[in-house]
A and B are shown apart, each in its own frame.
Chain A
């Protein structure tokens, strides 16, 4: 095993709609900035990997077009995952284990503003039994939230409190989409979209892009003073069918956190990717994160949720606090799939 670190991070501010951009126009600013922070160019990068989904822009093979935002001549080593950019980071981490290259560029982009996102996400569901019924992502998450209430694990007020804390945390985050002092009581007056989920209990849909550079061992130490070392990283998946899972727990994130080495020392902060308020409660319980851990100091996905990018941003936000010396050890988490089906957890640490 080689030690791999996050050495730079760049993101576009998450906003409701970035009008003036196609894929290369979204990608170029963040990839070039992530490399420029280190004095690198694409020629210095050993492997490039991206995460996105073509259904967001509704354009097949939009990820191929995104490569135009890079310098891809002479030909580069490149790969793509149809998942959040954090899973592309995982692929890059695995690729760096081969030992032949020392740097990797990871990026992702999400333009949520173009299409009907809750309906697009129904395409994740079983194509025989669920997708034809039109189970949008908010309604699927609502079934999970109601199961939590029925199990006595949380109340709607708990959901609102997660949102209020997240959006308050985001006040100092210039890249957050929704931030400020939100009243719990007022949130509880909002009409239901799909009960028990009200608008504020769901993350906003944002446009953004993000990039991270990874480097190994001495290469990382050359590039930055304090690399954010990936001490462990693990991805676990649960069964696809909602009716075959206990939706109130997350055994996959529990196991991933264990395998990533969460228990080997205390973490100062955790950046959790919870697109719905109740999912943060599930994740905290599953990973055993107590009140001593600062959860989502950036505001998390409830403050900014660019699809396929919000997870990579969790890694970037956690790493930034280590790179800057503000934190010693941090957990970064990303989910994909319906109702927390996939969970990726990494433990990041400074030296």
Chain B
């Protein structure tokens, strides 16, 4: 047992501080979302304003209004803020030279990610919602991007057309439907309305197997915008038995280093009660375990 007694102890002083004509004017202006600097005797501008410059010369009583933006001169990323910091999430401290000023201001930058911070970056001031005539009236600064948001939003009704509708209806019943050129005999899955080789209509529908040959594949390892799956995953081209064109789907149920061209694969269907008019009725294709198809048997489909 320790002989030394110990107890928590809080030290607080409820001091107030007089502000004077220079600091006081600056802080008061913040209430009205006005950012001002003060001119020095030799014509420079200090923001935040001080009563004396570094030469010890009194600054003038001439104030200039400044744009609420500036440039980061140095910064420090704080991954785990301390109690008393301006944010309780990661943020940056920065020395910010306000546009039109010759000195720099210490403040926080709400940048979300350390990667967004660099010396020389442009920042804009974010005002606090409630103002009290203190430096906290500047909530923080935020990165200024040299681009503007430019989203597009258009609303359409789509219909898949007659042949694709037949294909999707087939899927709803667990069937894979292709369109056949009656002259050339080629079967396209999904049906396209015409054989691109002959130009003949492919009005004849035939059902093809849910088993086929993996003709080629890619393993996706990099993330991208709008990605639904977590990398790595495999995407492959499958020529179903009875078809002359491939469909594209996920390859799963096999280690990635064992996936190969010519591998025989079979559709893994969702439970029947979940079937819709969608290729998503098939979760993925997996190996059948049959011997691989020879290269010559599918090379024309590559």
- B78 x A133 contact (CB < 8 A): no
- A19 x B78 contact (CB < 8 A): no
- B135 x A119 contact (CB < 8 A): no
The docked-state distance in angstroms from the alpha carbon of A192 to that of B75 is 13
The answer to whether B93 has its CB under 8 Å from any CB of chain A is yes
Q: Mark B135-156, 1 if CB is under 8 A from A, else 0.
A: 1100000000000000000000
Q: Mark A239-260, 1 if CB is under 8 A from B, else 0.
A: 1011111010000000000000
List, in ascending order, chain A residues with CB within 8 A of B46's CB: 244
The answer to whether A223 has its CB under 8 Å from any CB of chain B is no
The docked-state distance in angstroms from the alpha carbon of A115 to that of B12 is 13
- Kindly identify which residue among B103, B108, B136 contacts A244, using a CB–CB cutoff of 8 Å: B103
- Kindly identify which residue among B23, B105, B114 contacts A243, using a CB–CB cutoff of 8 Å: B105
- Kindly identify which residue among A115, A134, A242, A244 contacts B85, using a CB–CB cutoff of 8 Å: A134
The answer to whether B50 has its CB under 8 Å from any CB of chain A is yes
- A195 x B114 contact (CB < 8 A): yes
The answer to whether A233 has its CB under 8 Å from any CB of chain B is no
- Report B100 CB to chain A, min CB distance, Å: 14
- Report A187 CB to chain B, min CB distance, Å: 17
Q: How many A-B residue pairs have C-beta atoms within 8 angstroms? Tell me.
A: 109
The docked-state distance in angstroms from the alpha carbon of A328 to that of B209 is 95
The answer to whether A295 has its CB under 8 Å from any CB of chain B is no
Q: Which chain A residues numbered 108 to 157 have a C-beta less than 8 Å away from chain B?
A: 115, 118-119, 122, 125, 127-130, 132-136, 139-140, 142-147, 150
Q: Which chain B residues numbered 182 to 230 have a C-beta less than 8 Å away from chain A?
A: none
Q: A132-B135, A243-B103, A244-B103 are in contact. Are A139 and B76 (CB under 8 A)?
A: yes
Q: A197-B76, A244-B54 are in contact. Are A58 and B84 (CB under 8 A)?
A: no
The answer to whether A324 has its CB under 8 Å from any CB of chain B is no
Nearest opposing residue in chain B for A139, CB measure: B93
Q: A58-B9, A132-B134, A239-B54 are in contact. Are A143 and B108 (CB under 8 A)?
A: no
- B17 x A143 contact (CB < 8 A): no
- Kindly identify which residue among B3, B48, B80 contacts A129, using a CB–CB cutoff of 8 Å: B48
- Kindly identify which residue among B77, B84, B95 contacts A194, using a CB–CB cutoff of 8 Å: B77
- Kindly identify which residue among A135, A145, A196 contacts B106, using a CB–CB cutoff of 8 Å: A135
Q: Which chain B residues numbered 89 to 131 have a C-beta less than 8 Å away from chain A?
A: 93-95, 97, 103-108, 114, 119
- B79 x A241 contact (CB < 8 A): no
- Report A25 CB to chain B, min CB distance, Å: 11
- Report A55 CB to chain B, min CB distance, Å: 8
List, in ascending order, chain B residues with CB within 8 A of A136's CB: 82, 84-85
Nearest opposing residue in chain B for A150, CB measure: B119
Most chain A CB within 10 A, of B48, B73, B82, B107, is at: B82
The answer to whether B11 has its CB under 8 Å from any CB of chain A is yes
The answer to whether B2 has its CB under 8 Å from any CB of chain A is yes
- A243 x B104 contact (CB < 8 A): yes
List, in ascending order, chain B residues with CB within 8 A of A58's CB: 9, 11
The answer to whether B86 has its CB under 8 Å from any CB of chain A is yes
Q: A119-B82, A128-B27, A239-B54 are in contact. Are A143 and B135 (CB under 8 A)?
A: no
Q: Mark A146-172, 1 if CB is under 8 A from B, else 0.
A: 110010000000000000000000000
List, in ascending order, chain A residues with CB within 8 A of B93's CB: 135, 139-140, 142-143, 194
- Kindly identify which residue among A19, A143, A146 contacts B4, using a CB–CB cutoff of 8 Å: A19
- B106 x A150 contact (CB < 8 A): no
The answer to whether B165 has its CB under 8 Å from any CB of chain A is no
Q: A239-B54, A241-B50, A244-B54 are in contact. Are A142 and B86 (CB under 8 A)?
A: no
Nearest opposing residue in chain B for A248, CB measure: B74
- Kindly identify which residue among A115, A119, A132, A143 contacts B74, using a CB–CB cutoff of 8 Å: A143
The docked-state distance in angstroms from the alpha carbon of A52 to that of B11 is 18
Nearest opposing residue in chain A for B86, CB measure: A133
Most chain B CB within 10 A, of A128, A239, A247, is at: A128
Q: A146-B74, A195-B114 are in contact. Are A129 and B2 (CB under 8 A)?
A: no
- A128 x B119 contact (CB < 8 A): no
The answer to whether B19 has its CB under 8 Å from any CB of chain A is yes
User: Would you list 24 pairs from A and B whose C-beta atoms are within 8 A, ordered by A residue?
Assistant: A119-B82, A119-B84, A125-B106, A128-B17, A128-B27, A130-B135, A133-B107, A133-B136, A134-B84, A142-B76, A146-B74, A146-B75, A146-B76, A147-B73, A195-B76, A195-B78, A196-B76, A197-B76, A239-B54, A243-B48, A243-B104, A243-B105, A244-B46, A247-B74
Extra A-B contacts (19), CB below 8 Å, given A144-B74, A194-B76: A19-B4, A58-B11, A115-B11, A118-B82, A129-B23, A129-B48, A133-B108, A139-B93, A142-B93, A143-B93, A143-B94, A143-B106, A146-B119, A147-B73, A191-B79, A195-B77, A195-B78, A197-B76, A243-B95
Residues of A in contact with B (beta carbons under 8 Å apart): 19-20, 55, 58, 115, 118-119, 122, 125, 127-130, 132-136, 139-140, 142-147, 150, 191-197, 239, 241-245, 247
5 smallest beta-carbon distances between A and B, as pairs: A243-B104, A142-B76, A134-B84, A195-B77, A147-B74
